[in-house]
Structure formats: C-alpha cells, structure tokens
Structure 1
C-alpha cells in the first residue's frame, strides 16, 4: 500500500514518525506539504490517524497502483463541499431567519432529521422573499472551497467528467456549471411567482436516494461502472451517493459521514483529492 500525507503542519519530525508507524520503505515529496510513503502497511492506521489529527494533517492509505486515471467521473455535493456556504441559510439571512433555518439545516446534515421534511420546512420559511436575494447570495456570499478550481483543472486535464449534485438549488448549480465548465448538475428548483419565492419546490426533491440515482444515471450515459467514480460530500444527504461510488471521500464532514466514507479530508482543500491520487 501507499500512504499519502498532506497538511500545512508537516515537519521532518512528523515525517519520521509516519515512516516508522507505516513501515514504509521510502517517501517522496509530491508537492509542497504533500508526501507519499511507498510500500507502507496499515497495521497501525489508528495510531497514524491519531497523530495526524493532533497536527491537523490528512492521511490516506491507498493501494499502490491506484491513480487518477482509474476514474472517469467525479460527483460532488455543492453546499459546504464545492462551495463554502449553505446557500439556503444565506438566503434565509436576507429574510432575518438565518438562525432558525440554519438549525434545521444542521439537524438534517447530521442525519438527525429527514431531509425531505427539513427542506420543505426551510423553503416554506422563504415564502414572500424577493427572488433577487438569490442573486445577492451568489454575487456577495458564495465562494468556492479552497482547492476547488485546482481540482476542476486537474480533472479536465485528465478527461474526467464532473457532476455537481445538490440538495440545494438550481439557481446556484446552473450558474456554477456555466462559470466553471462542470459537465452535469442536478438540484432542486425553487418556485418563483411575480418575482417572489412562493415557499415551494417544483418537482422531485433531490434527497440521498436521488443523489445516488443521479450518479448511476451519469454512469449509464457515460458507459462506465460505478467503480470508476469518485464521490465527495459532507452531510447525511450524501451518504448513499458515497456508498454507490468506487471511491468515497468525506470532505470537512459531519461525524456520521466521516464514519461511512472510505477516505476523509478534514484539513486540506479539495485539491487534496488530486494529491491522494498522484
């Protein structure tokens, strides 16, 4: 196996400790603050993880021959994964309801509340809000997660397709798709009448089941298997999609999601995915 270690706090002393704990024969610097330990073993994976967490470092054990070229599609969540915000919380802030909506969002993402119920409740609280609030959120508050553009550039160079699948809203996924060249998107549609949000969602709610189905549908369209996909997410609504993909990565995720995913990125940005597979 190989062990990939990445993080701003890496020191020579920590590299030596990772070498001993992993039994690696050698290590190679991949880029600044990213190292690969070759012919490692994961017998002391728990100790390695404890050491890594104590220094805010991400670690991943992978098969020696796994690489980016093994994959044809990367699917990722939008809110708090591809971007740094929960869009619905920021929309609610325009109506003075951020704390109330954010509490429901948190419960849903931690798996403490049914997603369909939570989204319906949150969207209902937006009733009567001027639709221009969506543009304000997009222009004033939405920022990509660190490393997102590097990730997209690397995927594009490798010929890997991208899917942005969200329990959020098409207003944002469609604009992100146009701006960053994302191949496929799917999200919920907010109903707007006379320039106002009605508090309703049009069509099927994009919940955990729909996210997984969307991933599989893209696989069919691309004539690939689910084993050739990577899925990235942070909340309970992503767990079925993560379970469907060949490689699952919890990104700055809730504890329940970290426990379910094969890999976690807790400290570095989204470009950490590329570092893992270099």
Structure 2
C-alpha cells in the first residue's frame, strides 16, 4: 500500500515523521499539496490517522497497483460537493426564508429527516417566488468547488465518464452539464406556473435511493463493474449512492458520511480525489 498525504501546508518534517512512523521506503511528490509515501506499513493505520488528524492533513491508503485508468465512472453530488452552495438555500434567500430552509437542509444532511419529506417541506416554502430567481442564483451565487475543473479534466483524460446526480434541481444540473462537459445528469424538477414556483416538484423525487439507482443504471449502461465506480458526496442523502461504488469519497462532509466513506477530504479541494485513484498514465 502507498499512503497519500494531502494538505494546504505540508511541512517536510511532518512528511518525514509520517514516513518513519509507517516505515515507508520513499516520499514522492505528486503535487505541491500531495505526496505519496511508498510501501507504507498498514499496521500503523491508526497511528497515521491520529497524526494526520492532529496536523490537519488528509490521507488515504491506496493499493500500489491501482491506476486511474482502472475506473470508468465518476458519480458526484452537486450541492456542497461539485459546487460550494446549497442551491435551495440560496433560492430561499430570495424569499427571505434562508434560515428556515437551511435548518431543514442541515437536518436532512445529518440524516435526521427523510430526504423526500425534507425536500417537499423546503420547496413548499418557495411557492410564489418568481422563476427568474433561479437564474439569479446561478449567475450570482453558484461557484464550483476548488479543484472541480482539475478533477473533471483528469477524469476526461483517463476516459472516465461523469454523472452529476443531485437531490437539487434540473435548472442547475442542466446548465452545469454543457459548461463542464458532464456525460450524465439527474435531479429534481421544480414545478412552475405563470412564471412562478408553485411550491411543488414534478415527478419522482431523486432521493438517496434515487441517487443509488441512477449510479447503477449508468454503470450497467456502460457495462462497468462496481469496482470501477467512484462516488462522492457530503450528506446522508449520498450514503446509499456511495455504498454502490468501488470507492467512496466524503468531501468536506458530515461526520456520519466521513465515517462510512473509503476516503475523506477535509483540507484540500476536489483535486485531492485524483491521487487517491492511483497512478496516472505518465507515472505508468
């Protein structure tokens, strides 16, 4: 196994201490924020984890033989994962209802409220809002998470297809798809009448199981094995989807999501996913 260490500040003494702790045979630079400790001793997992936690470092144990080309599908949550905002919270802000909606969002992400029920409750609060508010959120507030385009570029170069599946709204996924060159998207559709939101959702809600179903649908379409799928998210609604993937990544996620994921990124941006997928084509 190789131990991948990532962080915004990676002092040499910390890397050397970790290499000594895990009896690694070499320290290889992947990027200014990522290093590979070669042939690290897995028996020191707990000690390495404690060290990284104390020094604000992200880490991941990666099989030495893994290649990024081993994977064929990258599945991503949208809100607070691929992008920095929760779209529904920002839409609600246009109604002066952000605190009420954000509280429901947070409870759902912690798994305290069924997602479908939480979505219906939040959307109902938006009734009467002019549909143009969605475009304002997209134009004025939606930002990609750091490293998003770097990750998508690496996936594209490796021939990995991309699926953006969201408990949010098609208004945003359909705009991000051409902008980012995504292969597939799935989300919920807000009901609109006379240019205003009705407070309802059209069709079946893309909830936790819906996300998992989309992952499996696209995986089957691409004739991929489960081990060839990467899934990443940040909330309880992503756990079922992440459980269907060979590798799951908790991105700046809730504690319950971090605890169940293959890897957790808390310090770096989405570019931090790339070293966890193994060696790239240049490295062999």
TM class, shorter-chain normalised? over 0.9
1:265 aligns with 265
Are the equivalent residues in 2 in contact too, given 1:170–1:189 (CA < 8 A)?
Answer: yes
- What SS does structure 2 have at the residue aligned with 1:43? helix
Counterpart-to-counterpart distance in 1, 2:241 and 2:116: 16
Q: Deviations over 1:206-231 (max 9, x none)?
A: 11101001000001111111211000
Deviations 1:218-253 (A, max 9, x none): 011111112110000000000011000010110000
Report the alpha carbon displacement of residue 276 of structure 1 after superposing the two structures with TM: 2.1
Deviations 1:8-29 (A, max 9, x none): 2211110111101211111111
Q: Contact 1:235–1:253 at 8 Å: present in 2 too?
A: yes
Shift of 1:268: 0.4
Q: Is the 8 A contact 1:233 1:242 kept in 2?
A: yes
Other-structure match for 2:39: 39
Query: What is the TM-score with the length of structure 1 in the denominator?
Result: 0.98
Would the aligned equivalents of 1:57 and 1:267 in 2 still touch at CA under 8 Å?
yes
Aligned partner of 2:103 in structure 1 is 103
Look up the match of 1:82: 82
Deviation at 1:33, TM superposition (A): 2.4
Contact 1:231 1:248 in 2 (8 A): yes
Separation (CA, whole Å) in 2 of partners of 1:265 and 1:155: 18
Are 1:163 and 2:179 counterparts? no
Report what 2:153 is aligned to: 153
Query: What is the match of residue 229 of structure 1?
Result: 229
Contact residue 230 and residue 246 of structure 1 kept, 8 A: yes
3-state SS of paired residue (2:168): strand
Contact 1:9–1:55 (CA<8 Å) still a contact in 2? no
Q: Which residue of 1 aligns with 2:217?
A: 217
Query: Could you tell me how far 1:50 is from its partner in structure 2?
Result: 2.0
TM-score of the pair, normalised by structure 2: 0.96
1:19 corresponds to: 19
Q: What is the CA-CA distance between 1:52 and the residue it aligns to?
A: 1.3
SS of the residue corresponding to residue 130 of structure 2 reads: coil
Question: C-alpha distance in 2, partners of 1:133/1:275?
Answer: 38
1:60-71 matches, cutoff 5 A: 60-71=60-71
Question: CA offsets per residue over residues 125-164 of structure 1, 9 Å max, x none?
Answer: 0000000010000000000000000011111111110000
Equivalences for residues 117-128 of structure 1 within 5 A: 117-128=117-128
1:86, 1:270 → 2: CA distance? 17
2:182 maps to what in 1?
Answer: 182
Displacement of 1:121 in angstroms is 0.1
Tell me, in whole angstroms, the C-alpha distance in 2 between the residues paired with 1:190 and 1:210: 17
Distance across 1 between alignment mates of 2:54 and 2:84: 24
Q: CA deviation at 1:54?
A: 2.2
Q: How far did 1:53 drift? A: 2.0
The corresponding residue for 1:116 is 116
CA shift for structure 1 position 44: 2.0
Q: Give me the whole-angstrom Cα distance separating, in 2, the residues matched to 1:169 and 1:104.
A: 17
Aligned to 2:246: 246
**Within 2, Cα distance between the matches of 1:200 and 1:110?**
23
